[in-house]
């Protein structure tokens, strides 16, 4: 496993982090706790030292599993969590104000609840689970996070940027008020590379690249016939003819597999790691087999400029809200 600096925090984090949404058991249906715990241990055995969870992932269940494993290990594991917006708006809407989404008392209470689920004294990184740059005009959210920092309950501050809107946090990055951002970055959505990543590099803000597999689309396992369990959120993400569209886009990527990346998941992760602004990539993984495949990609080999140039043509603009 190789390590990169998480922006101004100075944390040396594993290039492959552990995305712990799926193990929460809600949204993603079918996680088995025993397998999830084994996957977390396998990841740490392989050198993973960064785990991204959130209070809403199974209403504290993901945090409970993560805390159980972190407390059992002697390695230094960095744990990041997130404060859900009080008004439950994902993504944050243009009219949402700080008192609607992140009043200070809510930030404090949510963080304390996360620490209770994790049974830890301090979070390494606490993130606001949605963000709008308009909220820079009311810094009460920041005062709450700084108080948590002063009280020793969090070490660093971040935000998770709204899906497919990387530039909605550009002013925040330039303000240098935060330490890290989390953003969707994958072969289909390459938009953070345009303005967000250069700004993060310039202002020394760490980058957590989430959804490297486009929720499974970039694993090559989604076909028009794929079904998901009832109430699994992917029924919505891959609704209508989206599965057929994904299969078409994936078919056009298969010709790029070869000595540089033998499988689509490997290509997807290597694409993310190729950008120097990325501090860690967060694949969601619930099984030891997926952990093993994903950690193996952190071997120091970078995709060639030729292959990266070919991948640029595979960016895919979609409307997610139709
Ligand atoms: N708003 C936010 O802040 C936000 C939103 C979304 C995600 N996130 C974070 O980002 C993380 C990653 O995103 P995600 O989990 O939504 O999606 P993702 O990483 O793009 O895709 C996860 C899917 O890929 C599968 N997978 C993993 N490794 C594989 C491999 N080697 N071969 C084939 N399939 C593989 C997983 O299967 P299994 O689950 O069966 O292993 C799961 O179905 C989350 O866990 C969470 O920490 C944050």
Name the E strands within the chain.
3-5, 12-14, 18-19, 50-52, 78-83, 123-128, 154-160, 180-184, 206-210, 280-282
| Exposure string for 118-136, b = 16+ CB within 10 A, e = fewer | bebebbbbbbbbbbbeebb
| Exposure string for 154-187, b = 16+ CB within 10 A, e = fewer | bbbbbbbbbbbbbebbbebbeeebbbbbbbbbbb
Q: How far is the CA of 226 from the centre of ligand 1 (A)?
A: 17
d(CA 33, CA 30) in angstroms, rounded, equals 10
Assigned fold of 3-312: TIM Barrel (3.20.20)
Best of 53, 88, 114, 211 to mutate for ligand 1, by most ligand atoms within 8 A of CB? Answer: 211
Predicted TM-score (pTM) of the model is 0.97
Stretch 213-240: mean pLDDT: 95
Q: What is the pLDDT of residues 295-319, one digit of tens each?
A: 999 999 999 999 999 999 999 988 7
Q: What is the pLDDT of residues 265-299, one digit of tens each?
A: 999 999 999 999 999 999 999 999 999 999 999 99
Preceding peptide of 91 cis, ω within 30°: yes
- Residue 322 pLDDT: 55
Q: How far is the CA of 292 from the centre of ligand 1 (A)?
A: 14
Domain ranges of the chain: 3-312
Residue closest by Cα to atom 34 of ligand 1: 219
Strands 12-14 and 3-5: antiparallel
> What residues flank ligand 1, with Cβ below 6 Å?
19-22, 52, 82, 129, 160, 182, 210-216, 219, 221, 265, 282-287, 290, 293-294
Name the E strands within 161-252.
180-184, 206-210
**Cα separation of the two ends of the chain:** 40
Residue 20 C-alpha from the chain's centroid: 9
d(CA 256, CA 264) in angstroms, rounded, equals 9
Confidence check: pLDDT of 320 > 90: no
d(CA 291, CA 230) in angstroms, rounded, equals 26
Q: What is the pLDDT of residues 143-188, one digit of tens each?
A: 999 999 999 999 999 999 999 999 999 999 999 999 999 999 999 9
d(CA 250, CA 33) in angstroms, rounded, equals 31
């Amino acid at each position: 496993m190789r390590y990169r600096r998480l922006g101004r925090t100075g944390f040396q984090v594993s290039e492959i982090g552990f995305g712990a949404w799926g193990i929460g058991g809600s949204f993603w249906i079918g996680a088995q706790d025993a397998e999830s715990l084994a996957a977390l241990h396998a990841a740490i055995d392989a050198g993973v030292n960064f785990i991204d969870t959130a209070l809403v992932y199974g209403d504290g269940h993901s945090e409970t599993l993560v805390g159980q494993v972190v407390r059992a290990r002697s390695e230094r594991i960095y744990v990041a969590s997130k404060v859900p917006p009080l008004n439950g708006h994902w993504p944050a809407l243009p009219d949402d104000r700080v008192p609607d989404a992140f009043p200070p008392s809510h930030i404090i209470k949510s963080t304390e609840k996360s620490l209770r689920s994790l049974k830890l004294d301090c979070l390494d990184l606490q993130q606001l689970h949605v963000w709008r740059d308009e909220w820079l005009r009311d810094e009460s959210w920041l005062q709450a996070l700084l108080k948590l920092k002063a009280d020793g309950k969090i070490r660093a501050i971040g935000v998770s940027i709204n899906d497919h809107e990387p530039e909605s946090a550009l002013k925040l990055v330039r303000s240098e008020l935060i330490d890290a951002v989390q953003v969707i970055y994958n072969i289909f959505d390459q938009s953070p590379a345009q303005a967000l990543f250069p700004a993060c590099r310039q202002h020394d803000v760490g980058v957590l690249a989430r959804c490297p597999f486009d929720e499974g689309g970039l694993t090559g396992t989604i076909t028009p016939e794929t079904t998901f369990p009832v109430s699994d959120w992917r029924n919505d993400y891959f609704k209508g003819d989206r599965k057929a569209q994904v299969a078409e886009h994936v078919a056009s990527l298969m010709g790029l597999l070869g000595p540089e990346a033998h499988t689509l998941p490997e290509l997807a992760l290597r694409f993310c790691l190729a950008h120097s602004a990325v501090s860690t990539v967060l694949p969601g993984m619930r099984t030891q087999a997926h952990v093993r495949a994903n950690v193996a990609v952190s071997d120091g080999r970078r995709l060639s400029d030729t292959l990266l140039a070919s991948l640029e043509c595979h960016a895919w603009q979609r409307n997610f809200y139709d």
